Amino acid sequence: MRIKMALLGLAAALAAAGPASAAFPEKPIRIMAPYAPGGNIDVTARIIADKLKDVLGVTVLVENKAGASGMIGSDVVARSAPDGYNLLVSANSLVSVPAIYGNAPYDWHTAFQPISHIQSVPAVVLVNPNSPLKTFADFIKAGRDTPGKLAIADSGVGTTNHIVIELMSAASGAQYTLVHYKGSGAAVIDVVAGQVPAQVDQLNSAIGHIKAGKLRALAVTSEKRVPELPDVPTVRESGIEGLSDFTYATYTGLFGPANMPRDVLTTLHDAMVKVLTDPETIKRFADLTAVAKPSTPEELAAMLAEEDRRVVPLIRKLGIKLE
């Protein structure tokens, strides 16, 4: 009788506890790349997805949803269930874009859960191969001598490509007409075709076009020359007043919606550490002049906070707003 009562008690306890929750992940994961295909965010998301599927054992899909300089796609993730199945790859523009638009559908401080830093890469100043601008000094001179005449393509208002142009302009006094696209992939098409004479882009998304001779690089914004393009000088080497110590890098990170369960966050973070310390992944990013490096969620949050302190005051000072 005692055994029977014990078994009945155990059965009741199991019933009260309900069915055991399935271990995460048990279905496909979607990574949102909130820009058009072909740019830094898209390339980064696809490299990560390719490795995450092996580490997590489920399909990992990349979806592009361009618009509002990344806010449309980002908002989809912000509104998603915080269950780890809807993730976002974003750059430090996650901070600057809402400051420029002024009416973001989310507060980046509270809408997203940082998971890990992915990679960082310098920007590159590009021109069509037929451009009369042969050096970075020529580029700055054109912006000083004929303010606003030279058009420069970027990947959208508030993106890091846009911000680096504004930073260089503010430091050098050169002025340009900015042509904002919905991603650098769309911008490069017009620059290659000669519709727009110049572009600022992340080096990892532009290097293929540079090596193919479709674009000519004038300068990179890294501290030192990049090994893949040893003949391309840094902005710092230009000797131009105001730019002698100029550097800037775009970094990307993986995010989820806020309030993700701790075990799901831990699983995703640990998976990213494996992905970003894998020699093949490191090489794939290195071939694109990017440095892959994981971080803790807290470290990525601190990087965004520093970007907020550095860039948002500049945006307000220059009065950069959505046109």
Cβ atoms of 159 and 112 closer than 8 Å: no
Q: Residue 2 above 60 pLDDT?
A: no
Q: What is the predicted pLDDT for the residue at 321?
A: 81
Q: Residue 289 above 90 pLDDT?
A: no
Q: What is the predicted pLDDT for the residue at 303?
A: 95
Looking up residue 274, the CATH number of its domain turns out to be 3.40.190.150
> Do 128 and 114 belong to one domain?
no
> Do 139 and 85 belong to one domain?
no
Omega cis (within 30) before 279: no
Q: Residue 170 above 70 pLDDT?
A: yes
Q: Which residue, of 171, 203, 238, is where some domain finishes? A: 238
Residue bearing the bigger pLDDT, 317 or 21: 317
Token readout for 180 is 């904002």
Read off the pLDDT band of 88 (50, 70, 90): very high
Give the mean pLDDT of 126-134: 96
Read off the pLDDT band of 158 (50, 70, 90): confident
Domain of residue 136 covers 122-238
Name the domain count of the chain.
2
Give the mean pLDDT of 141-170: 93
Give the mean pLDDT of 242-264: 95
> Do 114 and 134 belong to one domain?
no
> Do 257 and 314 belong to one domain?
yes
Average pLDDT, the chain: 91
> Do 72 and 136 belong to one domain?
no
> Do 299 and 262 belong to one domain?
yes
Q: Residue 14 above 60 pLDDT?
A: no
Q: What is the predicted pLDDT for the residue at 73?
A: 97
Q: Which residue, of 238, 271, 295, is where some domain finishes? A: 238
Q: What is the predicted pLDDT for the residue at 322?
A: 74
> Do 206 and 293 belong to one domain?
no
CA dist., res. 136 & res. 187, Å (int): 20
Q: What is the predicted pLDDT for the residue at 323?
A: 62
> Do 222 and 276 belong to one domain?
no
Could you write out the DSSP letters of every residue in 97-108? HHHHHS--SS-H
Distance (Å) of CA 313 to CA 96, 100, 237, 306, 308: 10, 11, 27, 12, 8
Distance (Å) of CA 283 to CA 54, 155, 277, 286: 17, 26, 10, 5
Residue 213, amino acid: G
Q: What is the predicted pLDDT for the residue at 16?
A: 41
> Do 107 and 132 belong to one domain?
no
Omega cis (within 30) before 25: yes
End-to-end CA distance of the chain: 80
> Do 126 and 109 belong to one domain?
no
Q: Which residue, of 238, 262, 280, is where some domain finishes? A: 238
Residue 17 lies in a domain: no
Looking up residue 223, the CATH number of its domain turns out to be 3.40.190.10
34-62 residue pLDDT tens: 998 988 899 999 999 999 999 999 999 99
Q: Residue 157 above 90 pLDDT?
A: no
28 by DSSP, 3-state: which? coil
